[in-house]
Structure 1
């Protein structure tokens, strides 16, 4: 199929997520004869996608609402757009595009793949919302050609809960990372006067473990370590799990966290850091921030949590800490501080080697091409 002028659609909850996580795949497809159309709510990254050569179609929907009328309107919007633009194949990402987009594509007769990038909040609590989402997923995923997951645990849950048949399941190595772009093999030794620097880069959500990071910083500060704790990332307005600005201001005033805002390019922050920290208890797929940090030869401390533990081999590329435990997190951070430079460098080299072997974007591109080259006939 490579070399034919087929139109491939990517449908997600933000232009930012498509640009940040899937641009390498999109560029490869366009370089090999495909046209690419992105459907997502409009944000500042929609222009960047258009500059990269994509068509961009803005969507009107709220991924957080639980209003069935709004969801029905979203389904009809997608169905109309699919009928109008007639893509040859569609990749859907995150819950509502996966559910309503898969149903809309099937109604028009367009083959599609649902990519489960993480289970999120409905699967964290087995309440009425979970039951509704499970039922909707079960119906929608019957209509897809394949269902992709980013880790085995998420796939196992969907199979065990009889949401999807195992024959449709494919587990990707995360969404991949460009290990050439995220490369910094020659890290300079720090001067004695410079503090040891930890870095956390994430969406500013409670479940990403930001308060745990602040508490661990407080524990280490009381031990009189010369340490700097940096945080970068963006607030998600109106997100029910967002940390408060009051909390962030308080942590900064206490001297616990140095907040650097949102960084379009995280590499300069990764270059200056000595260790990357990510104590998430969110239902992660495979966190991109961990792959980027390890690819940049940083030792990593993360929680022994779904998705996170895929990227870190304990005591080999970094340390795994207990979930919801700031004292264990502080203990692992203290261990990193006190390691000889050559031992930290060993962890960092091992981390980059693991990412190159397991999470290189080339492996993910191969999966897309294999699916697009398969027989689409029923």
Structure 2
């Protein structure tokens, strides 16, 4: 069913070849808007993960070499946009390279751009970036309010032409469940206290500090499950060996049955120290009713209210992390209270329909405003 006043054709450009929350949001949002009667096309490099996986999500994708800010990719995108301009309502750009290519390629074609900024890495306040965000884009979407404020304050992005729209999650899929049944299905120690992290294995996700925190707690029944894969895998395995944690750390790799893993955990930790907006993984864990330990990086304060939906710790502080983990381990009433608060917040504020409604309005306004 189409919620907007008319169906749109939305083109997403993505130059990133990685796989994480950003790419998942694009696909989840695309699938949701297709279900509402819109057309969506993803334009991305053939070697990118989002192009390779788009068909799994039922989203059409076109391969273009959007890997570098060079004349070749610019001309390729320009040719494609010009050939399809009469059939496109709005372009949604996501990473730096594709945002620059699209902003230049669409000149003279009358195609509005919505620029989505997913992460909290600072944007240099240069004249070029001011043009890209404040002039070339009809609207700027961020995944958290703090990210939006930084763009407004530093780049001159208009308040009226910017919106914070956190990523929505499927609260009917990420639900509390039978912990013992989940552990049996995953062959996890039924009697341990399991802290879990679900994240791509990148340095800034803070896995190393979580391992150090675990090593600071002398409790053989306190264990850590690391769900995800990525460039830090070998380094993290080496650190586990160095700290003597082989019996207490389980590397699960990338998993598709994430809800079952969350149902098996006692607590969820994501000690990121950079590049977060509002973490999808944290919202999923909240929806599953888990107490959360994380940092205030990016816009995490949008969802984590200290003492109500989770515990905030200082980034890169393994001592503070250990204290928070120990607190949840030793105070089951507190853990249950935080888990219930997190679940209630996620149900009210983090659902997928809310994100789709708001993105739909942004796209429609961009497509119909002169």
Deviation of 1:9 after TM superposition, in Å, equals 0.8
| Counterpart among 171, 196, 201 of residue 199 in structure 1 | 196
1:28 maps to 32
Distance 1:203 1:163, change over 3 A: farther
Deviation of 1:214 after TM superposition, in Å, equals 1.1
Cα separation, 2, equivalents of 1:327 and 1:15: 31
| Counterpart among 262, 265, 268 of residue 273 in structure 1 | 265
2:63 maps to 58
Q: Does 1:94 align with 2:85?
A: no
Cα separation, 2, equivalents of 1:293 and 1:200: 9
In the TM superposition, what whole-angstrom CA distance separates every residue of 1:301-323 from its partner, at most 9, and x where no partner exists?
A: 00132222322221222211112
Q: Does 1:233 align with 2:235?
A: no
The answer to whether the Cα contact below 8 Å between 1:79 and 1:108 also exists between their aligned partners in 2 is no
Give the TM-score of the pair, scaled to structure 1.
0.84
| Counterpart among 163, 169, 193 of residue 170 in structure 1 | 163
In the TM superposition, what whole-angstrom CA distance separates every residue of 1:75-116 from its partner, at most 9, and x where no partner exists?
A: 333222212233221111122223332332344221120011
Q: Does 1:158 align with 2:157?
A: no
The answer to whether the Cα contact below 8 Å between 2:129 and 2:155 also exists between their aligned partners in 1 is no
Q: What secondary structure, in the 3-state scheme, does the structure 1 residue paired with 2:321 have?
A: helix
In the TM superposition, what whole-angstrom CA distance separates every residue of 1:143-174 from its partner, at most 9, and x where no partner exists?
A: 221111122221221122134222311111x1
Between 1:14-23 and 1:251-260, the stretch displaced more is 14-23
Q: What secondary structure, in the 3-state scheme, does the structure 1 residue paired with 2:301 have?
A: helix
The answer to whether the Cα contact below 8 Å between 2:199 and 2:228 also exists between their aligned partners in 1 is yes
- Structure 1 alignment gaps of length 5 or more: 124-129, 237-242
| Counterpart among 208, 215, 218 of residue 218 in structure 1 | 215
Distance 1:371 1:318, change over 3 A: closer
Cα separation, 2, equivalents of 1:30 and 1:247: 39
1:145 maps to 138
The answer to whether the Cα contact below 8 Å between 1:281 and 1:305 also exists between their aligned partners in 2 is yes
- Structure 2 alignment gaps of length 5 or more: none
Deviation of 1:332 after TM superposition, in Å, equals 0.4
2:113 maps to 112
Between 1:266-275 and 1:365-374, the stretch displaced more is 365-374
Deviation of 1:250 after TM superposition, in Å, equals 3.6
Distance 1:29 1:15, change over 3 A: farther
| Counterpart among 345, 349, 352 of residue 343 in structure 2 | 352
Cα separation, 2, equivalents of 1:52 and 1:318: 32
Runs of 4+ in 1 over 6 A off after TM superposition: 189-193
Cα separation, 2, equivalents of 1:115 and 1:44: 19
Number of matched residues? Answer: 353
Distance 1:106 1:291, change over 3 A: farther
Cα separation, 1, equivalents of 2:317 and 2:18: 34
| Counterpart among 354, 361, 368 of residue 370 in structure 1 | 361
Q: What secondary structure, in the 3-state scheme, does the structure 2 residue paired with 1:316 have?
A: coil
Question: RMSD in angstroms over aligned alpha carbons?
Answer: 2.7
The answer to whether the Cα contact below 8 Å between 1:11 and 1:40 also exists between their aligned partners in 2 is yes
Between 1:311-320 and 1:189-198, the stretch displaced more is 189-198
Deviation of 1:247 after TM superposition, in Å, equals 4.0
The answer to whether the Cα contact below 8 Å between 1:82 and 1:105 also exists between their aligned partners in 2 is yes
In the TM superposition, what whole-angstrom CA distance separates every residue of 1:150-207 from its partner, at most 9, and x where no partner exists?
A: 22221221122134222311111x1111111111255459999711001111121111
In the TM superposition, what whole-angstrom CA distance separates every residue of 1:115-136 from its partner, at most 9, and x where no partner exists?
A: 111133x54xxxxxx46xx433
Q: What secondary structure, in the 3-state scheme, does the structure 2 residue paired with 1:170 have?
A: strand
In the TM superposition, what whole-angstrom CA distance separates every residue of 1:9-53 from its partner, at most 9, and x where no partner exists?
A: 112224855762133432332233322111123345535422544
2:330 maps to 338
